[in-house]
Amino acid sequence: MPTQANTSARRTLTAARVLAEVIMQGGASRSRLAGWLGVSKASISRAVEELIGNGWVEEGARFRVAQRGRSATSIIARAGLGYIIGADLEGSAARACIFDCQRNVIGSRRRAIDPSWAPQRIGAQIRALVDEVIADADVPSEKLIALGLALPGVATLDGREVRTTFAQGKLTRVGIHEMIGDFELPIVAADNTLCVSDYERRFGVAADVQSFASVLVRYGIGAAICSNGRFLSGEAVLCSELGHVRMQLDGEECICGQRGCLDTLASGRTWPSAEERHGERWEADLANRAHHLGVGIANLLKIVPLPVVVLNGIYNAYPDIVRPAVNSALNAALEPIGLQVPSLRFGDDLESKASISAGLRALDQCLGEYLERSSLARRSA
């Protein structure tokens, strides 16, 4: 027989999981929550009642349930329940933003990064941005939940140390606090390709599909595969290096030491400077780069067939040239051998999506801890 204490602990746990899911998904009905969390609808209803009683969630709009002719009520988190900070790093800049539990961004900043890519110097720049968005937002410090960091090529070793490729493509081990300095909130680091892809899956252009390939081209070229609603790679492994798929065995030398990687043909690292990116010659060069990118993506899809490819990063500024070039490369590579040719989608153009996604991943890990330490949790105990 379960003791009363056990039952109460289990209910609190269910309530915390429901709350995390509601924030992560941006709202959900009771029956969808029951499906996602694998618990009974009665348990979900009890948890939602408790969360409403605590003032942590509220009932939102009613919406139609597809194909059933019924409607359901969406449960949404109270915006001011807490605030999440996210930051991300790309080829030439770092960004940080702070958002509430309904994903309203209440402050964001962006700054060009130190060209030396020294981890400590970049860490100090990210830290300065984070401090600035916190100051801009002017919310009570006890309402801050966690900081999520999206970094290139990151594998989280033990939560305190990460392996990242951000020093010009070279693999570096770096302690999070060594990079960011002393920080009063929990910090969770994640791979930036995974963060961008997860945003597309939850809220962006891939929200309507279960499986897709997601490609992010900035300084390097990363890829993630979502299969039946789940990403095949997690935080603990480095495996999104589409840029180092080799295209020409005797090609140009790559930063990885091999020759002819896709990176040497299509990455942001190899792009001409901004002043050179105009005119007919650039357009032909860009089409050629996009063609190579398409061939590289097709190589991936020859092993894992996926109906949709989502593209993000530097190529998205040139859809008129990039879309036909990538599409024709995919067609030429896949169609003759009878493989499915995917539809190409350009990613959502929200600038802070990697930061938001990194923040949500941090929230997912730290919400329980936050509720415990918040005065709200103490009041309900």
For Zn ion, the closer of residues 268 and 347 by Cβ is: 268
Q: How far is the CB of 157 from Zn ion (least distance, A)?
A: 23
- DSSP at 261: B
Shortest distance, position 194 Cβ to Zn ion, whole Å: 20
At its nearest, how many Å lie between Zn ion and the CB of residue 159? 29
* Unique residue bearing structure tokens 């349930």: 65
SS3 118: coil
Nearer to Zn ion, 169 or 342 (CB): 169
Least distance CB 326 / Zn ion (angstroms): 20
Quote the least distance from Cβ 92 to Zn ion, whole Å. Answer: 21
Residue whose entry in the numeric block shows the structure tokens 């509720």: 371
Instruction: Give the nearer residue to Zn ion in terms of CB position, either 31 or 172.
Output: 172
**Minimum distance from CB of 252 to Zn ion (Å)?**
10
Can you tell me the distance from the alpha carbon of 259 to that of 293, in angstroms, rounded to the nearest whole number?
Answer: 16
Give backbone dihedrals phi and psi of 206, rounded to 5 degrees, phi first.
Answer: -110, 15
Structure tokens belonging to residue 316 = 């998205």
Any bridge partners for residue 96, and if so which? 87, 109
- Reported residue count of the chain is 381
Shortest approach of Zn ion to residue 84 CB, angstroms?
35
Of 263 and 348, which CB lies nearer to Zn ion in the complex structure? 263
CA atoms of 172 and 248, how far apart (whole Å): 27
| Residues engaged in binding Zn ion (CB under 5 A) | 244, 254, 256, 258, 261, 263
**Helices marked H in 101-167:** 119-137
Q: Considering the complex, state which of residue 30 and residue 244 has its C-beta at the smaller distance from Zn ion.
A: 244
Instruction: Give every strand in the sheet of 170-175, ordered side by side.
Output: 155-156, 161-167, 170-175
Q: How far is the CB of 255 from Zn ion (least distance, A)?
A: 6
The CA distance from 181 to 178, in Å, is 6
The Cα-based distances of 268 to 91, 95, 117, 313 in angstroms read: 8, 18, 15, 9
Contact 115/155 with Cβ under 8 angstroms?
no
Burial classification of residue 195, based on how many CB atoms lie within 10 Å of its CB (0-12 exposed, 13-18 middle, 19 or more buried): buried
Whole-angstrom distance, CA of residue 253 vs CA of residue 116: 21
**Under 8 Å between Cβ of 200 and 216:** no
Nearer of residues 20 and 254 to Zn ion, judged by Cβ: 254
Query: Which residue number, 70 or 170, has a Cβ lying nearer to Zn ion?
Result: 170
In the complex, minimum distance from the CB of residue 258 to Zn ion, in angstroms, rounded to a whole number: 5
- Identity of the residue, 165 or 197, whose beta carbon is nearer to Zn ion in the bound complex: 165
Residue 302: name the closest of 322, 324, 330 by CA: 330
Closer residue to Zn ion (CB): 54 or 258: 258
In angstroms, what is the minimal distance from the CB of 239 to Zn ion?
A: 14
Neighbouring residues of 86: CB distance < 8 A, sequence distance ≥ 6: 96, 97, 98, 99, 147, 148, 149, 150, 352, 354, 355, 356, 357, 358, 359, 360, 362
Q: Is residue 339 helix, strand or coil?
A: coil
